[in-house]
Structure 1
Amino acid sequence: MSTTPRSTPPRSDAEDRRARALEEIEHAAAGSEVFGTSAFVRQARRASAHFSGADADPADRIEVWGRRVGRSLSMIALVGLVWYLATTYL
C-alpha cells in the first residue's frame, strides 16, 4: 500500500478566476467603508492643518499668521476666479 497523499483534482481556469474574483470582492467590501470614512477624515484634518499654518515653526508667530493670511487670500482668489469664469462662460 502506498503512503503518498492523495492529490486534489486540478481546478479549471474558470474556477480559478471565479475564486480570485470572489476574494477580491470580499477584500474590497471589507475595506470600502473604512477607506471612505478614513479618507474623508484624513483630508479634513489636512485641510484644517493647512489653513491653520500648522506646518510653520510654532515659535515664529509672524510666520504662522503669514501663512494663515496668505492661504486664506489664495482661497478667496480661487473662489473669485471660479465665480468669474462661471458667470462669464456658462
Structure 2
Amino acid sequence: MEAERRRAADAALAGVVRDGEVLGTSGFARTLRHAGERLGGHFAGADADPADPVEIWGRRISRGLALLAVLALIAHLVLTYGPR
C-alpha cells in the first residue's frame, strides 16, 4: 500500500515538473534553446570520435562549407527568381 502511494506521488511530481513552466520561459523558448544546442553540437562535430581530432575538424569544415553552399544557393535563387 505504501509503495503504491509512493509511486503515485512520484508520478504526480514528475508530471508537475514536466508540465510546469519556469517563470518567464515558454515551451516555445525551451524548444528553441534545445534546438540551438543540438545545432551547435552538430556544427561543432560533437558526434565524432573525441579521440580523433582529424575527424572532428573534418566534420566541422565540411558542415561549415555545406552551410555556405546552401546559403549561396538560396541567395542565387532569390536574386534570379525572386520578386521584381
TM over 0.5: yes
The amino acid that maps onto 2:72 is: G
Query: What is the RMSD of the two structures over their aligned residues, measured on CA atoms?
Result: 1.4
- Work out the CA distance in 2 between the residues paired with 1:50 and 1:67: 9
Shift of 1:53: 0.2
1:21-70 per-position Cα deviation (integer Å, ceiling 9, x unaligned): xxxxxxxxx76x53112101101101100000000000000000000000
**Bigger Cα Rg:** 1
What percent identity do the matched residue pairs reach?
Answer: 38
- For the residue of structure 1 that corresponds to 2:26, the secondary structure is helix
* Structure 1, unpaired ranges of 5+: 1-29
2:45 equivalent in structure 1 = 53
Residue deviations 1:56-86 (CA, integer Å, cap 9, x gap)? 0000000000000000000000000000000
Count of matched residue positions in the alignment of Structure 1 and Structure 2: 60
Residue-by-residue CA offset, 1:1-40 (whole Å, 9 max, x unaligned):
xxxxxxxxxxxxxxxxxxxxxxxxxxxxx76x53112101
Quick check: 1:64 aligned with 2:56?
yes
Could you list the structure 1 runs, at least 4 aligned residues long, displaced by more than 2 angstroms after superposition: none
2:33 maps to a residue whose letter is V
- 2:51 match: secondary structure: coil
**In structure 1, what is the equivalent of residue 72 of structure 2?**
80
